[in-house]
Structure 1
Amino acid sequence: MEQKVEIKETTIKRIGGYLHRVVPIADKSGKIISYALKPLMLEFKPRDIMQVIIGSALLAIPVSLTEEAWDLGKTLPISNVCLISILSLTMVSVFVYFNFYKVTLKGYVIDFIKRVIGTYIISLLVVALILSLLEKCPWGIDYVLALKRIVIVAFPAAMSGTLSDTIK
């Protein structure tokens, strides 16, 4: 006959300035003998911003150096570039949801939105800086071409920025 053991719910506590999930560990009788701490990355902190910047640069630099990315900016219609932007935001959102907020989205929706939008904007800014330094963003001549190139290169940059944000 199996014995049912009632274990208290996990709680979320701030320890050392960071949120942690506190999980009780119980023995067979149900008596709590210890607690396990799991860091939660629900808040978008300066450390996370730095990780996104570095992660975005990891793919933005090699992609920014390719003539294919520059030519795509010239040839793709603006509607396709907008769809690339939407696809990028969608992929970042899905990845962030399943890696950070799947269990604890309730109460952290604003933080979820900040992380997704922040990651994408940071990626756009990193790409804009790199392409500007390479003189591949003709801001004064054709700002639409500059924006198209930024969005195209930001697609992989946002993915690598999001991935690097998962590092604890």
Structure 2
Amino acid sequence: MEERVEVKQTTIKRINGYLHRIIPIADTSGKIINYAIKPLMVEFKPRDIIQVVIGSSLLAIPVSLTEEAWNLGTTLPNVNIILIALLSMLLISIFVFFNFYRNNFKGFKFSFLKRTIGTYLISLIVVSVILTIIEKCPWSTDHILAIKRIIIVAFPASLSGTLSDMIK
């Protein structure tokens, strides 16, 4: 029976427009007998943006329809709203780092920032559109309240958008 050993000399190549890690598989003598190809999900492509939009909508819609979220925007101090926004960004960046960039961070720092910030901004836009449509963003009378409500609802929406981005 032939034993297979994974050789650690991996390379990164673009296949059909997407980056892949090519991992040589060797037998016990060290002779390469095959290659394993794994997608390297470090680029933030249009497909990923669409996944974030859909994923953000999954939780943005039900949460934005709750009166509790609207009232939190009215009652929470601005400092708490800023902390919610920072917590959202922290959780997104931790999840993105450990699921996409942990082994590839050095060469893809800008892509990491783009994916993290892009995911949060897309979630904010999705939430603002939904809250504006249901007339819970009082842009003309109280834009601070509108922004506070958006940030509150974007907290769960951004996390569901981040999770859906991982599906390939």
Instruction: Provide the TM-score with structure 2 as the length reference.
Output: 0.96
Match of 2:141 in 1: 141
Tell me how far 1:7 sits from its aligned partner.
2.8
Q: Which amino acid aligns with 1:127?
A: V
Q: Which amino acid aligns with 1:139?
A: W
CA contact (8 A) 2:58 2:160 kept: yes
Cα distance between partner residues in 2 of 1:17 and 1:60? 32
Moved more, 117-126 or 8-17: 8-17
Cα distance between partner residues in 2 of 1:127 and 1:163? 17
Cα distance per residue 1:31-78 (max 9 Å; x no partner): 000000000110100000000000000000000000000000000001
CA contact (8 A) 1:19 1:39 kept: yes
CA contact (8 A) 2:52 2:165 kept: yes
Match of 2:63 in 1: 63
Match of 1:72 in 2: 72
Task: Please list, as runs of the form range in 1=range in 2, the aligned pairs for 1:3-152 lying within 5 A after superposition.
Answer: 7-152=7-152
Q: Which amino acid aligns with 1:92?
A: I
- Poorly superposed stretches of 4+, deviation over 4 Å: none
Cα distance between partner residues in 1 of 2:9 and 2:146? 52
Q: Any idea what SS the aligned residue of 1:163 has?
A: helix
The structure-2 alpha-carbon separation of the partners of 1:148 and 1:6, relative to structure 1 and needing over 3 Å to count, comes to closer
Q: Which amino acid aligns with 2:166?
A: T
Instruction: Tell me the matched-pair count.
Output: 164
Q: Any idea what SS the aligned residue of 1:38 has?
A: strand
Tell me how far 1:6 sits from its aligned partner.
8.8
Cα distance between partner residues in 2 of 1:6 and 1:107? 23
The structure-2 alpha-carbon separation of the partners of 1:6 and 1:62, relative to structure 1 and needing over 3 Å to count, comes to closer
Cα distance between partner residues in 1 of 2:136 and 2:145? 9
Q: Which amino acid aligns with 1:64?
A: S
CA contact (8 A) 2:6 2:25 kept: no
What's the RMSD between the two structures over aligned residues?
Answer: 1.0
Q: Which amino acid aligns with 1:105?
A: F
Cα distance between partner residues in 2 of 1:157 and 1:167? 16
Tell me how far 1:160 sits from its aligned partner.
0.2
The structure-2 alpha-carbon separation of the partners of 1:98 and 1:8, relative to structure 1 and needing over 3 Å to count, comes to closer
Tell me how far 1:8 sits from its aligned partner.
4.8
Cα distance between partner residues in 2 of 1:140 and 1:85? 23
